[in-house]
Amino acid sequence: MKFVHIADMHFDIPFVVLNNRNNLGEKRRFDQRETLKKIIEYIQENNIDYLFIAGDLYEHEYIRKTTIEYINNLFKQIPNTKIFITPGNHDPYINSSMYKTFNWNSNVHIFSGELELIEENNCDIYGYGFNDFYCKNSIIDKIHINNANKVNILITHGALSGGTLENMEYNPINRSKLKQLGFDYVALGHIHKLDYNNEINQRIVYPGSTVSLGFDELGSHGMIVGELDKEKIKLEFIPIDNKEFKELELNISDINSEEELIEKINNLNLEENNFYKIILIGNKNFEINIYNLFKYILNENIIKIKDKSKLKINMEELSKNNNLKGLFVKEILMELDKNNYDKELLENVLELGLNIIDKK
């Protein structure tokens, strides 16, 4: 059997950060549509049997009916492909859910919050999703494979091995217990980072978010394509999103004015299709106002500028001065010695304080 596995598309997410730059958020929503269209075209061209969508297909709070109609019309173009969707924490199976209120095409099956088994000729497909925005108790312990001789697949949305305390609220799944169940493939969603080839013959897979949603999701994004039978599994990650979020460091140690910095940023050789966060590093020779910089940045694909540069300060020398600045630096040095605070935080406090003192 051949399948495509995607998750975490988040249709109609607001893209607040992108909207700060010439309404790029709206353009990014069109990218989401184009990406799903490419996936459907791939399925058509390669005669894919199944499409697994492991949660967070859309944003419940923001989803428009027209977007659901667009998605469903694409699904109609692959009538011979069976589509299985498990609701996630952003698109839970609640009474007002589009999963309940919309009339989906006949090749679409949507799982609820209860475990369900769909028996196919060549495989058994198990699935369950969120019936609320939180799911603290996984039902993994209640799952038993009905027919071990068939190919068995599980589709769900959740946090493998629990992870952080935050992830404990999103269907925490114990990895060891999940492996012991003996599924031939587990199609997961929720974690936006790709995880499919970190071990030999890996069968528990996160495809990552299909379209990158921000700077915490760097790199390529797309879909998992698989071929599976009882004896073997073949998986491939295929990038589909034609844009990436990228970070670029810029050393400003030799830059002596805001005007020179703006010119340097505007002359950066950046790829047109990507979104960039520029990280300023090195020693700064002047006060930097990020808001003011953005007024003169010409490349709209520069979405963020983060200042990680440091003031060129001899703190020991300054602390010897018998004035307000010297006393302030001395106090900061004493706190650094105590190791009670985050060093970067104290350095930021130092920089801010010195700027205020200089303006008095």
Rounded to an integer, what distance in angstroms lies between the CA atom of residue 284 and that of residue 286?
6
C-alpha distances (whole Å) from 343 to each of 30, 285, 340, 349, 356 are 42, 21, 9, 10, 20
Nearest to 68 by CA among 92, 27, 103, 39: 103
Whether 281 and 350 map to the same domain: the answer is no
| pLDDT at res. 341 | 62
Whether 80 and 179 map to the same domain: the answer is yes
Which among 223, 239, 255 is the end of a domain?
239
Whether 107 and 180 map to the same domain: the answer is yes
| pLDDT at res. 334 | 81
Instruction: Compute how many other C-beta atoms are within 10 angstroms of the C-beta atom of residue 306.
Output: 14
Whether 101 and 165 map to the same domain: the answer is yes
| pLDDT per residue as tens digits for the range 6-18 | 999 999 999 887 8
* pLDDT above 90 for 251: yes
Whether 303 and 275 map to the same domain: the answer is yes
Check: CB of residue 4 under 8 Å from CB of residue 224: yes
Tokens, residue 163: 């992870």
Rounded to an integer, what distance in angstroms lies between the CA atom of residue 23 and that of residue 19?
4
Whether 107 and 216 map to the same domain: the answer is yes
pLDDT interval class at 138 (50, 70, 90): confident
| pLDDT per residue as tens digits for the range 345-360 | 776 777 777 767 766 6
Whether 119 and 172 map to the same domain: the answer is yes
Q: Sort 246 into a burial class: Cβ within 10 Å, 0-12 / 13-18 / 19+.
A: middle
| pLDDT per residue as tens digits for the range 310-332 | 877 666 777 788 888 788 888 87
Whether 233 and 257 map to the same domain: the answer is no
Rounded to an integer, what distance in angstroms lies between the CA atom of residue 156 and that of residue 111?
9
pLDDT interval class at 163 (50, 70, 90): low
Whether 335 and 304 map to the same domain: the answer is no
- 343 versus 27: which is more confidently predicted? 27
CA atoms within 13 A on the CB side of 25: 13
Whether 47 and 144 map to the same domain: the answer is yes
Which among 187, 210, 239 is the end of a domain?
239
| pLDDT at res. 310 | 84
| pLDDT at res. 339 | 65
- 312 versus 185: which is more confidently predicted? 185
Whether 305 and 158 map to the same domain: the answer is no
User: Exposed e or buried b for every residue in 5-36, given b needs 16+ CB within 10 A?
Assistant: bbbbbbbbbebebbeebeebbeebbebbbebb
For every residue of 328-350, DSSP letters joined together read HHHHHHHHHHHT-S-HHHHHHHH
Beta strand residue intervals within the chain, DSSP E: 2-6, 50-53, 82-85, 108-110, 116-119, 123-127, 151-157, 159-160, 172-173, 185-189, 204-205, 222-228, 233-239, 245-251, 275-281, 283-284, 302-307, 310-311
pLDDT interval class at 43 (50, 70, 90): very high
Nearest to 114 by CA among 62, 156, 176: 156
| pLDDT per residue as tens digits for the range 279-319 | 999 998 888 889 899 999 999 899 999 999 987 766 677 77
Q: What are phi and psi of 274, to 5 degrees?
A: -110, 165
Domain count for the chain:
3
Whether 169 and 100 map to the same domain: the answer is yes
Residue 124's CATH number: 3.60.21.10
Which among 199, 224, 239 is the end of a domain?
239
User: Exposed e or buried b for every residue in 183-203, given b needs 16+ CB within 10 A?
Assistant: bbbbbbbbbbebebeeeeeeb
DSSP H stretches of helix in 254-309: 258-266, 290-294
* pLDDT above 80 for 165: no
Domain ranges, residue 78: 2-239
| pLDDT at res. 324 | 86
Segment 199-204 mean pLDDT: 90
